[in-house]
Structure 1
Amino acid sequence: MNSEELLVRLTAIRDRVTVAAEKSGRNGEEVTVIAVTKTHPATTVAHLYGTGVTDLGENRIQEASTKIDELGHDPWRWHLIGSLQSNKAAQAVRMFDVVHSVDTLKLARRLDRVLADDPERGPMRILLQVNVADEASKSGFDLRGPGDGERWERFLGVVREIAALPNLVPCGLMTVAPLVDDPEQVRPCFRALARIRDALREHVPDRDWRELSMGMSNDFEIAVEEGATLVRIGRAILGARS
């Protein structure tokens, strides 16, 4: 797929984002499209240059390493959207600009320690992954919303500890919705994440919490209607995975 074909696809996606954002009284420019490049080689990803895409998403450290070495960081911002093990935190800090998948206090502390050893790197933006669908197969803090009793109180305590770490900038939340045939079925998941974000603004007000990373190729319009600021789109941009 060449740059012209990619631009046609991206224009259609941006138009759909704009329409979805307007339904909720927002501007489509508030939503960043992250092109998810997993399984696609660097030669294919390079065709995104000049299409207006600046944000690229990868799931795995090993695969991303080769692409980042080949493509560099200018003009790209690299997002780690897949699970991250604590023992790979140092690699993630070297490679990525944003980590979407911080799902434990242990991982946050490990990232903070790695960053402390590299003062030139500066603070790292992170998102906290929340498993609002309560799926056993998904990573993330197990939480359905602010009224979730003891789980909510435990979550708030962890968030406050993460927010106090000097080398991290928690700026929002991320979730992975269930894969279903009808995107309307996942609207409650996106709505729940937005409610959690709004509650964090009240209970942990010293952080911004503006970002909501939710929505993929099959459901990003529903996610945008419910407040997504970051949508992670792979297949609809780059086609079927290799």
Structure 2
Amino acid sequence: MSVSTDLQRSASDPAEVAALAAARARILGRIGAAARRVGREPGEVRLVAVSKTVEASRLRAAVAAGLELLGENRVQEALAKIETVPGAAWHLVGPLQANKARRAVTSFAMIETVDSAALAVRLDRLATELRPDRPLPVLLEVNVDADPAKAGFGTEQLGAALPALLDLPGLDVRGLMTVGRLVAEPEAARPTFVALRRLSEALRGREPRLGPDLSMGMSDDFEVAVEEGATLVRVGRAIFGERPDHRHGPGGHPDHAHGPGTGPVTEPADHR
């Protein structure tokens, strides 16, 4: 165990650490069972603990409990936490405002929500300037359902843009990301996940430089996503409990709201 982990354990509430370790074990158990159902290895899937609105003290306990990959929806909220929660790797899983891009490039291990060619070009320029020897890991967000309420590349749009995106030297395009449908039953999200997997297979057949990662699945549907090939699942409520701003009705999903009307102006999405 590292010195930093020892310090985190000693500084965290033991009961909180134990509760989060138990939650982590439950989620990993469900991931493992879903993977084995389709002949996959559980280790192929990484758990991103989405920590929107979770205070830094709980996140220090989360890291001590083994939740070392954290996902944040808002750059500004993440920056305050990153400074006080050592030992974690951070993914941006919400929409990225243009005026936050510089800080995002220097703060996150991965940006999962590159939803346009314009954003990719901006990130490439900043990454080339700020981290010239380390291409920035990113995922391309795809609106596979052609849902006007969601952000992301259209499938045909991505196919046309992909060669140029893969040529950007400052980016390491690890794969694709999508947000599942707003559904009451997890099984109803399966067509979205199938579509992203098939799109990835088709694109990688033409462009092997595209990475194999698939970020899909959240608290309500991550097991279905794992069955369909997810390599990253974004889980928040099932680990940390309901958020203070939790609001959704029948068939709604409290974990995401990333659409064309929200992404460029605000940072409201909750991809967990």
Structure 1 and Structure 2 fold alike (TM over 0.5) = yes
Q: Which residue, out of 121, 145, 151, partners 1:133?
A: 145
How does the TM-score come out when normalised to structure 1? Answer: 0.91
CA distance in structure 1 between the aligned counterparts of 2:130 and 2:158, rounded to whole angstroms: 29
**SS of corresponding position for 2:64:** coil
Equivalent in the alignment of 2:38: 24
Q: Do the aligned partners of 1:85 and 1:107 also contact (CA within 8 Å) in 2?
A: no
Take 1:238 and 1:158, find their aligned partners in 2: how far apart are those partners?
A: 38
Q: Deviations over 1:110-136 (max 9, x none)?
A: 001111112456211000001112222
Answering whether residue 34 of structure 2 is matched by residue 48 of structure 1, we say: no
What percentage of residue pairs aligned between the two structures are identical? 44
Q: What is aligned with 1:197?
A: 200
Instruction: Kindly report which structure 2 residues correspond to 1:1-242, keeping only aligned pairs within 5 A, or say none.
Output: 2-72=16-86, 75-119=87-131, 122-143=134-155, 152=156, 154-207=157-210, 209-242=211-244
- Whole-angstrom distance in 1 between the partners of 2:132 and 2:226: 35
Task: Supply the RMSD in Å over aligned alpha carbons.
Answer: 1.3
CA distance in 1, matches of 2:68, 2:82: 13
- Structure 2 unaligned regions, length at least 5: 1-14, 245-272
Q: After superposition, what is the alpha-carbon deviation per residue over 1:42-94, rounded to whole angstroms, capped at 9, x for unaligned?
A: 0111111232222100001111111011114xx21100000112232101101
Moved segments of 4+, more than 4 Å: none
| 8 A contact 1:115–1:121 mirrored in 2 | no
1:28-48 C-alpha deviation (Å, 9 max, x unpaired): 111000000001110111111
Query: TM-score, normalising length from structure 2?
Result: 0.82
**Aligned partner of residue 168 in structure 2, secondary structure:** coil
Could you tell me whether the CA contact under 8 Å between 2:106 and 2:130 is conserved in 1?
A: no
Amino acid at match of 1:16: R
Q: Which amino acid aligns with 1:236?
A: A
